[in-house]
Every structure is written in structure tokens, then in C-alpha cells.
A and B are shown apart, each in its own frame.
Chain A
Amino acid sequence: GESVGLHLPTLSVQEGDNSIINCAYSNSASDYFIWYKQESGKGPQFIIDIRSNMDKRQGQRVTVLLNKTVKHLSLQIAATQPGDSAVYFCAAGGGSYIPTFGRGTSLIVHP
């Protein structure tokens, strides 16, 4: 199975700052990584993904970085807004197994 962990359970930032949420995975065979956002009272929602043949992928205000050497990925949110407040999960998958979710990091954006 996959063990996926996050470095910090809670991250507090000021509105307008950039946020960085980190995640580590244990299975070297993982080749697909996904970030989900879970707002209060809702299910996790897909944000962005990256395959292992890439080191970086950008979306709208979000960037995911993958370091396969140390089995680490991060989610960067630019110009964080109050609406970004949520719990963020990383998931590692690929191959024949179902993605495993990390514990989640709670992002709190202060206006």
C-alpha cells in the first residue's frame, strides 16, 4: 500500500500571500499524484494532478511541484484568497492500485 503524509496539519496565511502545502509519499512505484480541496461540509474536489514524468505543473493560481528523488510533492497557491480556506489532500496512485490519500492540511486564510 501507499503511505502518504503531510508535514503540517494546519497552515495559516494572510490573504494575498502565497501558500505552500507539502506532501510526502512512500511508494516509489507511484506515478500519478493528485491534489484535492475539501471545503467544509463538502466532499474532496479535484484541483490539479501531475504525472511522474513531470516536475512541475501549473494551473490557475496553483502549481504542483514533484520531487521524485525524495518522494515529495507540494501545492503552491498564489495570492491566497479567503475562498481558498479548506483542507487540502494529496493522493498518490498509478499502476494497479487505488490512490491513497494523505491526512490533509487545513489552510486558514486570514483577511
Chain B
Amino acid sequence: DAGVIQSPRHEVTEMGQEVTLRCKPISGHDYLFWYRQTMMRGLELLIYFNNNVPIDDSGMPEDRFSAKMPNASFSTLKIQPSEPRDSAVYFCASSPPGNTDTQYFGPGTRLTVL
């Protein structure tokens, strides 16, 4: 079975540019999570969706960050404009119906903003 798929795996961009990260959750899972991981802050939950609807976006750092889930098999996390402090590894995870406790993580996208 394919796990959570994320693209790109690596992204290097310049400050001020728009960045779009993509995620395909595991088929049949109805929860999708976006995390950011840095050495300083560890793993932070940014936002999560249930049945394509954003449930809690309190972890989104600021208005430069936005996330969408147009359908059950695709989600995007966009940063516009990007800043060097956004450099981190961004993970997408999904969970099956009725079980948000066990999350299946993708391989992550390593973002570097110069």
C-alpha cells in the first residue's frame, strides 16, 4: 500500500517567493495533518482537516501560511511570501476514520528559504 505521499521532497527558494507543498493522504483516511519540524521547536501541528474541512488552524504561524484540501486525496500548504525563518521540514500525516491518535506520516518536504 502506498503511504502518505509528499512533493517535492526538497525545495530551495528565495525569500519572497511563493512555495506550495503537496500531500496525498492514504486512501480511505479522512483526517489530514500538516506539521512543521525544526530543531528549535520540534514537531508543531499547523492545521488539520477532517473530511476536507479545516478543523483547527490555530497552529498556522501567520497569514502568509494557507492550506487547502480540495478533495479527499489532495492537500496543499502554501507560503506566500516565504521568509528564511520558514526553513524547516514540513510533514503531512493522515489518520483513518474515527482515529486521530495514530497518524501515518509522509516523508516530509525539506524547505530552505534563502
Q: How far does the alpha carbon of A71 sit from the alpha carbon of B72 in the complex, in Å?
A: 37
Given A43-B93, A98-B45, answer yes or no on A34-B102 (Cβ-Cβ < 8 Å).
Answer: yes
Given A42-B108, A43-B91, A43-B108, answer yes or no on A99-B103 (Cβ-Cβ < 8 Å).
Answer: yes
Q: How far does the alpha carbon of A102 sit from the alpha carbon of B105 in the complex, in Å?
A: 16
Indicate if A101 sits at the interface (CB-CB under 8 A). yes
Who on chain B is nearest to A6 by CB?
B42
Tell me which residues from 69 to 111 in chain B have a Cβ below 8 Å from any Cβ of chain A.
Answer: 91, 93, 100-108
Given A42-B107, A42-B108, A43-B108, answer yes or no on A101-B102 (Cβ-Cβ < 8 Å).
Answer: no
Interface of B is mostly: strand
Q: How far does the alpha carbon of A42 sit from the alpha carbon of B37 in the complex, in Å?
A: 12
Most B C-beta atoms less than 10 A away, residue of A43, A46, A49, A104: A43
Tell me which residues from 27 to 50 in chain B have a Cβ below 8 Å from any Cβ of chain A.
Answer: 33, 42-43, 45, 48
Most B C-beta atoms less than 10 A away, residue of A34, A93, A94, A99: A99
CB-defined contacts of B100 to chain A, threshold 8 Å: 93, 98-99
Tell me which residues from 1 to 46 in chain B have a Cβ below 8 Å from any Cβ of chain A.
Answer: 4, 33, 42-43, 45
Indicate if B57 sits at the interface (CB-CB under 8 A). no
Q: Is the CB of B101 within 8 A of A94?
A: yes
Q: Is the CB of B43 within 8 A of A44?
A: yes
Q: Is the CB of A46 within 8 A of B43?
A: no
CB-defined contacts of A94 to chain B, threshold 8 Å: 101
Q: Which residues of A contact B (CB under 8 A)?
A: 32, 34, 36, 41-46, 49, 89, 91, 93-94, 98-104
Q: Which residues of B contact A (CB under 8 A)?
A: 4, 33, 42-43, 45, 48, 56, 91, 93, 100-108
